Structure 1
Amino acid sequence: MDIKTVILTLAIGSFVFGTILILFQYGKEPSQRIPFWVTAKFMQGGGSLLLYARDATPEFIGVLVANCLLLSGCAYEGWAIVHITGRRVSRFLHVSTAAATMAACVVMLFLEPSKSIAVSFSLHTLFYALPGWALLKHGGEASLLRRGLGWSFCLLALIFGVRAVWALVEPAQSHLFFGVMIHQVMLPAVYCMMLISGFSMLLLAKETSDRALRTTLREQKAILETLPTGLAILRERIIERCNPALEAIFGFAPGTMAGTSTACLYENAKASEQYGRIMYEAIVNRGSFAGEVAVMRQNGERFWAWVQGTSIFPERAQSYAVFSVTDISQQKAQQQLLQQQNQELEKAGQARSRFLKTVAHEFRTPLGLLASSTDILDRYWERLNTAERGEQNSRIRSAARQLSELTTAIISHNQAEGGSYEPVLQQVDLTAFCRTVAGEAETVWSNGHTLHLAIGDDCGSAVLDETLLRRVLQNLLSNAFRYTPPEGFIALRARRIEGQLVLEVVDSGIGISEDDQQHIFEAYYRGSNTGLRRGLGLGLAIVREALELLRGTITITSAPGAGTTMLVTLPLAEMET
């Protein structure tokens, strides 16, 4: 094979290889493509083709353009290899090398042929030595392919360097087409070496890509294994791959979740189908899904999870997707608790608003009585007879008693609600105590009522807080008198049963509905059938608070129009006399 045929073959091979590279990199992301490589091959092919047709072209084209293309192609191929090795080629180096190459080619026009060839092959030597150095000068563990390719470029650089020296030593034999022995050996060797190096570069590019892929996979695995959020890749709603966090969230043993259906993560098949349809419809229509999902652990425990999903391949969104799962059970519980607290605060605010209105109304009546009675006594004292004066004084005492009751109720409730009351334990004669409180209640609240008192002989005495027990009985009896007609029946019963004091306050009044019984011990709550009767809605709340301090209980038996029975049970620390 003559030299011209070898040069033509190099040109054709470069164009074919450049075309293969175009196909190899077609459709890849810009970051995955190898820059300079395609350009290098077409430049080398163009330069070799002009070199082949040198005898048929002007000297200007044969020397300047051909050399510019060949040298630039070698430089670009070197940059491609430098890029494959993980180094960066700066724009300044790229531009300055191109400018220097063109300047050298222009200078070669004015040199003797042998010196022009020496300069050209010296530049080839440099451009092949640099990528060889980049391949061999590797900080990490270099593969056999990388080392082999590096030595191949170094050998090419050596061949071109020898040719440059030969051009200066034997200028008479420097013409490319003279067919001397060095050309007969060099060009086929260059052809073979470039062919080998070209395909080796393809393999090296793949090796570099595989290494980057392995590194990425290791990084992804490390991220997946340490990420606290559960991640899963689903194919046809089967868990193809997941991280340990997802297995921990759903209570699966390590390595046992892959291959299972997502249906096992829901309470039942209906929930699985419903949530699956919602999530995949969102992914298909909007590209992603995010929302709260009710799921179930392997032990049957139900909980709420925040699920985000997206498709890996948009064209296969219905069958191939990735999801992240975060357990939000605590956040959900806190949210529900916060909502409950807000509702209770709103309810308490409404109750306090009603309470203030009621207090204003309740205080207005006795204050008005005090004002009017004192005004009458002040203006008409001399004109009033004894009976009239007594009537006004009775009205004043009644108003003062009402104010005292209201004030006592408010203070008692605030003490219990604020936790400022400290129980005072003392020995109490239960029989005498019950008789005293019953008598006081009948004196203060009776309006023609009949109070029946039934105290068992076994009541004896006990150690307890007399003030708290008085609050309990006073408020229960007050309600009985207040909501029972004058002709009605009221009874207080007391007995001791197995170390407990049992008190019953029974009346034949208006009764309490079932709905009201659920709220009757709440502060400021008043029954729906109380009508215009006075009251703050604090009496039974004070009873409840006092019983909590006494560790007692109370139950209600009542119905509208059928009277009410309040049953109080108190544990006693016995100190009988």
Structure 2
Amino acid sequence: MKESKPPLENDAPSLAGVKKEFETLLAREREVSRLKGQMVSIASHEFRTPLSSIQLSASMIEHYFDRLDRAKIFHHLKKIIQAVQDMTAVLDDILSLEKIDSGKIPLNRRHFDLASLGREILDEMQSLTKKDQQLQYRYDGEECCVYLDQNLIRHCITNLISNAIKYSPEAGIIELKTDITEQFICVQVKDNGIGIPEKEQPKLFETFFRAGNAKDIQGTGLGLSIVKRYVELMDGSVSFSSVENIGTVFNLSFPRGMNDRDQPVK
């Protein structure tokens, strides 16, 4: 009768596999815990300034309402609205990151006019510009219709334009360019802002990364990480070039398929 191997010896390979899987899960859990801790820290820090602004402006209106002229009241109301928008943006970034990590971001491709979307985004963001900043739009290509997720591409463009406004000086020029070729759909955002230090550029798309020259400017370090993931969800790629104190150019590129060409130009 053939001797059977000891049970533990038979199970050695499977035990090694279980151990490796357990270590992977443990490392993942630690990373999730670390990210959650950073999210709480970022939210706490980023909420403090707008909450203080809301409290101050509300107190000014409450205590000096009868002595403030109409322009002053609207000035404080505008500050409150802006502060609420800033907090909403932070919450949106945190929620977006959580949805991406849990695979809950639905991809909803449909046909839409890219040129119209570009102009619409710049019109909406005009009110966020600094003194004498210019938002310019340029479109190249014979066709306007693309087949992408309009909500995701809107988020990407809005984030890049918002960053360009934030990190560019007064009277700076921010350009959005869209280009449709036979093979690719391209989106470019160019500014003449503070740029990204060369030694820090490899970390630019890491979650919570903030460049050393941007520490004093409000931000969570989540935006570009989310942009990169959204672009990749649509099978695209993102690249950039930047020179400190000269400016930055971001390029989003998406491959075209048959669905991009089966709709008439509108």
State the TM-score, normalizing by the size of structure 2: 0.83
Structure 1 residue 420 displacement after superposition? 2.0
Query: 1:472: how far off?
Result: 0.7
Change (3 A) 1:512 1:345: farther
SS of the aligned residue for 1:504 comes to strand
Closer, same or farther: CA 341–512 of 1 in aligned 2, 3 Å: farther
1:346 CA drift (Å): 4.4
Q: How far off its partner does 1:496 sit?
A: 0.8
Residue 338 of structure 1: which of 4, 19, 23 is its match?
Answer: 23
Q: 1:540 aligns with which of 224, 229, 232?
A: 224
Which of 181, 188, 195 is the equivalent residue of 1:497? 181
- Tell me whether 1:443 sits opposite 2:127 in the alignment: yes
- Of the three residues 86, 89, 94, the one matched with 1:405 is 89
* Counterpart pick for 2:47 among 363, 369, 372: 363
Task: Evaluate the alpha carbon distance shift between residue 406 and residue 448 of structure 1 in structure 2; reply closer, same or farther with a 3 A threshold.
Answer: farther
CA drift of 1:339 comes to 6.7
Secondary structure class of the residue paired with 2:214: coil
Is the helix fraction higher in 1 or 2? 1
The 1:337/1:544 distance shift into structure 2, 3 A limit, reads farther
Cα distance change, pair 497–561 in 1 and its aligned pair in 2 (3 A)? same
Query: Which of 493, 504, 523 is the matching residue for 2:207?
Result: 523
Between the two proteins, the alignment pairs up a number of residues equal to 259
CA distance, structure 2, for counterparts of residue 566 and residue 334 of structure 1: 43
- CA shift at 1:331, angstroms? 4.2
Residue 457 of structure 1 and its aligned partner are, at CA, apart by 4.1
Cα offset, 1:388, TM superposition: 1.5
SS in 2 for 1:518: helix
1:433 lines up with 2:108 in the alignment: no
Matched AA of 2:23: L
Task: Report the Cα distance in structure 2 between the residues aligned to 1:512 and 1:341, rounded to whole angstroms.
Answer: 35
Distance (whole Å) between structure 1 residues aligned to residue 24 and residue 99 of structure 2: 28
* Structure 1 residue matching 2:213: 3-state secondary structure: coil
Distance 1:514 1:422, change over 3 A: same
Query: What is the rounded CA distance, in whole Å, between the counterparts of 2:38 and 2:85 in structure 1?
Result: 23
- Structure 1 alignment gaps of length 5 or more: 1-218, 228-326
Partner SS for 2:218: coil
Which amino acid is the alignment partner of residue 536 of structure 1?
T
**In the TM superposition, what is the alpha-carbon distance from 1:539 to its structure 2 partner?**
0.5
Q: Is residue 2:82 matched to residue 1:394?
A: no
Q: Which amino acid aligns with 1:576?
A: P
- Name the aligned partner's letter for residue 85 of structure 2: R
Alignment RMSD: 3.2
Structure 2 distance, partners of 1:492, 1:363, is: 30
Q: TM-score, normalised by structure 1?
A: 0.40
Q: For the Cα contact (< 8 Å) 2:135–2:174, is it kept in 1?
A: yes
Tell me by how many angstroms 1:351 deviates.
Answer: 4.1
Structure 2 unaligned residues grouped into runs of 5+: 7-11
The 1:378–1:518 alpha-carbon spacing in structure 2 relative to 1, beyond 3 Å, is: same
CA distance in 2, matches of 1:427, 1:365: 40
The match for 1:416 is 100
Where do 1:223-372 residues align within 5 Å?
331=16, 335=20, 338=23, 342=27, 346-372=30-56
What is the CA distance between 1:491 and its match in structure 2? 1.5
Per the TM alignment, residue 404 of structure 1 is displaced from its structure 2 partner at its CA by 2.5
Which protein has greater RCO, CA pairs closer than 8 Å, 6+ apart? 2
CA-to-aligned-CA distance 1:21-60 (integer Å, 9 cap, x gap): xxxxxxxxxxxxxxxxxxxxxxxxxxxxxxxxxxxxxxxx
Distance 1:389 1:553, change over 3 A: same
